[in-house]
A = this chain, B = another copy of it.
């Protein structure tokens, strides 16, 4: 690299932006591989997600928020298993090393890592179209994970938070709609800096409150279908039980109604938890929501079937379903 004094080398870049202390790790970044010391009796939950500019995030996205989100979406997968997040790796392609961009991006990813107690233990930095691939690892006592296939007949279906508001934030960013100021920040915040429901997942698993769980990234209906298929049951969602209200400060449902109704059923990027629980646990789940200061909504139940999701209207009639969610090969964020 001495012949290119104006270009930071790959190694300098990694050292400057992506290496911080890793107190929870046997051997952190800088060797051929990191070394993790799992807790005795724990299983390792591991997941990997790729985020590509123009597909998963808008070009020009604020790098700090992007750094947060790149890690957060993986932690959401761990949350859906009920795992305790512990470690992450970041591989990224960068079109050119831009110091300001990297400063913002690393600040975002490390602020998410710190919030959730994660060590960034390694990865890869290379030249290429802006692409992020985060692998997150967590721990979970053997046999206790919240799997997708564990829902039982007559279980309730629950969802956390306010499904759909992230999709409204995206629509606003794309200029497709203008959100009223009362809800703008909440929608943008959920879209751009989602808070993975880690504490919820752990509490649902520890107290055996939930049986099956999934995180909602592709849209409520699409992800409900994954739960239904894995558990070999149908799900009936009662549209009357879906959260009616937008976030705090939201005016009465008005012109937004139709867009919000579509977004809450099929908008992506929610990163809420959708889970099944026995009807006897309703009170405990309500109490947990209060304790976490997180709304938890009972929106349907598991019925006999083979993996379909149906929507019920106000008189219990079946409503038509047009659009289930997001598929990366059919749609584009741009």
Q: Which of A's residues lie within 8 Å of B, judged by CB? A: 1, 4, 7-11, 13, 26-27, 30-38, 40, 42-50, 52, 54-56, 77-78, 80-81, 83, 87, 89-93, 96-97, 121-129, 131, 133, 135, 137-138, 140, 142, 145, 147-149, 213-215, 230, 327-330, 332
A67 to chain B, nearest CB (A): 16
Docked pose: A330 CA to B89 CA in angstroms: 24
Partner of A129, one of B121, B125, B131: B131
B126 in contact with A48 (CB, 8 Å): no
Docked pose: A131 CA to B330 CA in angstroms: 18
A31 in contact with B131 (CB, 8 Å): no
Docked pose: A164 CA to B247 CA in angstroms: 61
B32 in contact with A91 (CB, 8 Å): no
Given contacts A145-B27, A329-B127, whether A33 and B45 have CB atoms under 8 Å apart is yes
A51's nearest neighbour on chain B, judged by CB, is: B126
Given contacts A56-B126, A78-B33, whether A10 and B133 have CB atoms under 8 Å apart is no
A27 to chain B, nearest CB (A): 7
Partner of A126, one of B26, B91, B129, B328: B328
Docked pose: A30 CA to B77 CA in angstroms: 12
B46 in contact with A127 (CB, 8 Å): no
List residues of chain B with CB within 8 A of the CB of A140: 35
B9 in contact with A34 (CB, 8 Å): no
B33 in contact with A46 (CB, 8 Å): yes
List residues of chain B with CB within 8 A of the CB of A215: 32
B92 in contact with A147 (CB, 8 Å): no
Top 6 A-B pairs, shortest CB-CB distance: A133-B133, A52-B128, A32-B80, A33-B47, A50-B91, A33-B45
Partner of A137, one of B45, B46, B125: B46
Show 20 residue pairs from A and B whose CB-CB distance is below 8 angstroms, ordered by the A residue: A1-B327, A9-B330, A11-B327, A13-B329, A26-B142, A32-B213, A33-B47, A34-B46, A35-B145, A37-B43, A37-B44, A40-B40, A50-B91, A50-B92, A50-B93, A52-B127, A91-B133, A124-B133, A127-B332, A131-B133
A101 to chain B, nearest CB (A): 14
B8 in contact with A329 (CB, 8 Å): yes
